[in-house]
Structure 1
Amino acid sequence: MGKDKETPEERRERLRQQEWENNPSGSLKDSLNRGANGSLVDLVGSLGWKGTGILILIMIFGFIIYAVFFR
């Protein structure tokens, strides 16, 4: 598949692989920092739109349940 017809996910992965090849220690540091702090972009990218919607609904319902029982 050419660079013109690749999806955004494939492009991100290709750029990530190129960065790993060019600077493995810098990528390791970035991944350790991202793992420690969490990255919303990676979470949403891995879940897709359905998973993200379900996550938002769970957060809303969790807040409602918290508001009803603990206030």
Structure 2
Amino acid sequence: MKDNQETPERKRERLRQQELKSNPTGNMNDAYNRTNSGNLADLVGSLGWKGMRVLILVIVIAFIIISLYFK
């Protein structure tokens, strides 16, 4: 194969990286709806850093609201 042609594996990885950059929180829905998974490691692994920050922020805010509600 010529050097300037992209292999299918590299093309898939390039497209996946572009999707991660353009829509980091959309991956949460993809990870949640996977049929063969269901554990937190798959969810966190697919989120990336930006999505993980959002998830942690949501958990912290929910914890604060719940702790204030039950005081």
Give the TM-score of the pair, scaled to structure 2: 0.46
Give the TM-score of the pair, scaled to structure 1: 0.46
More helix by share: 1
